[in-house]
Amino acid sequence: MFKQKIIAFSPILVLVVTFLFSLTFVPSIHPTPKNLPIAIVNADKGVVLPNQTKLKMGETIMNNIKNNSNAKSNEEPSIHWIEVANEKLVESGLDNQEYYAAFIIPSDFSQKQATLQTNHPSSPTIEIMLNQGMNYTAANLAGQMLNGVAENINQNVRDEVLRGYEKAGISLTPQQVSSLITPIKTKVINVNKTGTHSANGNAPVSLFQPVWMASLIGAVLIFTAWNKTSFSNRKEKFYARIMQVIIGILLSIIVGFGLTWFADGMLGLDIPLKTDTALFITITYFSFFCMISALLAWIGFAGVPITALTLFFGAPLLAMAPEFMPAFYKDWIYPWIPMRFMVDGLRELFFFDKGLNWNHAVAVLTGIGSVSLIVMLASVIKPTRKKKEEKVSVADVEMT
């Protein structure tokens, strides 16, 4: 046994496989955000102080944020600030998944801040909007970063007000002391909420693996039956491919509605648009089924490891925001994994209440399914390997 070459090469093969599959964990080892898109609105109108100077605290905050963002020009910043004109446009951008969060300075910010040095202080409020449905983890981290920004503003305002009182030699009243503990209030608003029965916002990712594996098993079973069937001409092959497509459609409907019912009724996931979700999973399954079937039709069972590698490399990325991925995975792996379009489509259905429509995810999945269907049907022109005929020896003939 030890004389066989496979034994000698086994340590190398084991190391290669270990290294290859270890790469699937690289994106999740130390995820750090880069250029996380966050909207910022400066609606502050300013205020004219008793000495006739105009206080525009919102403008000051904006300038400080820009200066801090450009402080390390040689490194990509954690936050990519996007200035937006008003709160209505911000809400539209959040619904269209353009921002993970928003930082809003209200119109009366300077006016209320000016009262902090009076006998009747009124703390201004900054609004932080977190887009949970876009990515639960990214939105929460954005919230932590924005709370840090608000705390820095708090510290600066507190120091400025105290310097003003000290310079004027004024003693603070209990009400003024209380207002200076937290001079700037922070109001956090969760939009496109993930709810309490969504696996912490990962319900779309949780449903991906059953659909992908069911697509693989369905395609492999039908391909196995195909290999065991003899065809006399290409016309018979073509009709068999049509039957394969019909079976694929039936399987898609069964998986689409069956998985939706099971996830909602048995697993307890909160699926607000059940029929739309079932139809979308049906489209997704058929797309994956056609893609895997086309691969098997042209290269045979060698296509199975390819689908397995796609699963292993793609699955860890689906729950991550692209801004958290290493550059290699973001630019070369993530754009090419087809299952991300299923997750994107389910996010819209689960958290954005948009219903099933001709969006980007549906268009791409339909395109993948259509091209794969054509490639699969075209496989009937592929030359068939003739089985080696058994040679009958003269001795066998004599024995008969």
What is the three-class DSSP state of 260? helix
Main-chain phi, psi angles of 138, to 5 degrees: -65, -40
CA distance 384 to 85: 64
Which residues on adjacent β-strands are paired with residue 38? Answer: 81, 101
Establish how many alpha carbons lie within 13 A of residue 310's alpha carbon, considering only the half-sphere containing its beta carbon.
20
Mention the CATH class of domain 28-191.
alpha beta
CA distance 380 to 237: 6
| pTM exceeding 0.75 | yes
Note the pLDDT tens digit of each residue in 252-295.
999 999 999 999 988 888 999 999 999 999 999 999 999 999 99
Long-range contacts of 259-267 (CB under 8 A, 24+ apart): 259/207, 259/210, 259/211, 259/214, 263/203, 263/206, 263/207
Q: What is the pLDDT of residue 229?
A: 87
Of the pLDDT bands very low, low, confident and very high (cuts 50, 70, 90), residue 389 is very low
What is the three-class DSSP state of 103? strand
CA distance 213 to 218: 8
- Angle among Cα 81, 84, 86 to the nearest 5 degrees reads 140
Complete edge-to-edge strand list for the sheet that includes strand 36-42 = 79-83, 36-42, 101-105, 125-131, 185-191
Residue 248 amino acid letter: G
Of the pLDDT bands very low, low, confident and very high (cuts 50, 70, 90), residue 50 is confident
Domain coordinates in residue numbering, the chain: 28-191, 203-381
44-83 residues labelled b (16+ CB within 10 A) or e (exposed)? bebbeeeeeeebbbbeebbeebeeeeeeeeeeebbbbbee
Local structure of residue 301 (DSSP, 8 states): G
CA distance 268 to 286: 25
- Give me the residue label for tokens 């630019």: 331
The residue length of the chain stands at: 400
Query: Of 163 and 298, which is predicted with more confidence?
Result: 298
Note the pLDDT tens digit of each residue in 349-378.
999 988 999 999 999 999 999 999 999 999
Beta-carbon contacts of residue 186 (< 8 Å; ≥ 6 apart)? 125, 126, 128, 147, 150
Of the pLDDT bands very low, low, confident and very high (cuts 50, 70, 90), residue 35 is very high
Establish how many alpha carbons lie within 13 A of residue 48's alpha carbon, considering only the half-sphere containing its beta carbon.
1
Beta-carbon contacts of residue 21 (< 8 Å; ≥ 6 apart)? 312
Which residues on adjacent β-strands are paired with residue 40? Answer: 83, 103
Main-chain phi, psi angles of 81, to 5 degrees: -75, 130
Query: Of 277 and 25, which is predicted with more confidence?
Result: 277
Of the pLDDT bands very low, low, confident and very high (cuts 50, 70, 90), residue 393 is very low
Q: What is the pLDDT of residue 394?
A: 42
**The two three-digit tokens of residue 33, written as one number:** 């955000």
Residue 309 amino acid letter: L
Helical H runs in the chain?
5-22, 26-29, 57-69, 87-95, 109-114, 136-168, 174-181, 203-227, 234-261, 274-299, 303-318, 327-328, 339-351, 360-378, 394-399
Cβ-contact 72, 28 below 8 angstroms = no
Of the pLDDT bands very low, low, confident and very high (cuts 50, 70, 90), residue 70 is low
Main-chain phi, psi angles of 195, to 5 degrees: 80, -175
Main-chain phi, psi angles of 54, to 5 degrees: -105, 125
Q: In this structure, how many other beta carbons lie within 10 angstroms of the beta carbon of residue 294?
A: 23
CA distance 145 to 159: 21
- By CB atoms closer than 10 A (0-12, 13-18, 19+), residue 136 is buried
